[in-house]
Amino acid sequence: EPEVTQTPSHQVTQMGQEVILRCVPISNHLYFYWYRQILGQKVEFLVSFYNNEISEKSEIFDDQFSVERPDGSNFTLKIRSTKLEDSAMYFCASSEALTSVSYEQYFGPGTRLTVT
Amino acid sequence: QKEVEQDPGPLSVPEGAIVSLNCTYSNSAFQYFMWYRQYSRKGPELLMYTYSSGNKEDGRFTAQVDKSSKYISLFIRDSQPSDSATYLCAMSGSGGSYIPTFGRGTSLIVHP
């Protein structure tokens, strides 16, 4: 069964450093998403991406964040200058078409980012 | 007032019990109501969704939406140890966006 994969599973970085989180969405999916979940808190939407453009983003997704689809398979989230409060689990998701509930978002297993 | 409220639990039940999981919400514009299941060290997985008010049944799972009360429920019949997971409610459709707004999740433990 096709699945979304994410690397690394755990990333430790120092405050102020740049990190890139990587995702390989399901191959025939066209819409891609990043979410984050701070420990003990809700899953929060960051950004959605379609046709090489951001289609929707939340207030959390400020100038320190960027997304890219550098090739035909990877989808990345870059955090330019990490802060302690960026420590969270970051989930990538993809969907076949424009998200309505009937087009399910498939989530990856997440990357745990720890900023020290 | 938070948009989606969900008791984090944990909720511990014996195998075979009927489980009731609930969420309340404040945004009356939500149209789609979803339940996700999240196993440890995994991403959320869509379990069921319902449009507007009403009930939906899928095997041992029943989702209920009461828009007048802004209250949704997930019932699990004949619960199994394999149902042990965190259950996240989520809602969307406000302002034309299908991006889900999640609750905190309820941790369910079904013990043999």
What pLDDT digit, counting tens, does each position of B45-71 carry?
999 988 888 899 999 999 999 999 999
Q: A48, B99: Cβ pair inside 8 Å?
A: yes
Nearest chain A CA: its distance from B63 CA (Å): 15
With CA atoms as reference, the chain B residue closest to A106 would be B45
Question: Count of A–B CB contacts within 8 Å?
Answer: 50
The pLDDT of residue B97 is 81
Q: Name the phi and psi angles at A38, rounded to 5.
A: -70, 145
Q: B99, A56: Cβ pair inside 8 Å?
A: yes
Q: Looking only at Cα atoms, what is the longest distance across chain B?
A: 44
- Whether omega for the bond prior to residue B100 falls within 30 degrees of 0, making it cis, is no
User: Best residue in A101, A103, A106, A107 to probe B by mutation, most B CBs within 10 Å?
Assistant: A101
With CA atoms as reference, the chain B residue closest to A41 would be B104
Is a pLDDT exceeding 60 seen at residue B2?
A: yes
Report yes or no: B76 and B58 within 8 Å, Cβ to Cβ: no
The pLDDT of residue A86 is 97
pLDDT tens by residue, B14-35: 999 999 999 999 999 998 899 9
Is a pLDDT exceeding 60 seen at residue B1?
A: no
Length of chain B: 112
The pLDDT of residue A6 is 97
Regions of chain A with pLDDT less than 50: none
Q: Name the phi and psi angles at B81, rounded to 5.
A: -55, -30
The pLDDT of residue A84 is 97
The pLDDT of residue A102 is 59
Q: Strands, DSSP E only, in A1-116?
A: 5-7, 10-13, 19-24, 31-37, 43-50, 53-57, 65-68, 75-79, 88-95, 106-107, 111-115
- Residue A99 has its nearest CB partner, among B99, B102, B103, at B99
Q: A101, B41: Cβ pair inside 8 Å?
A: no
Contacts of A107 in chain B (CB under 8 A): 42-45
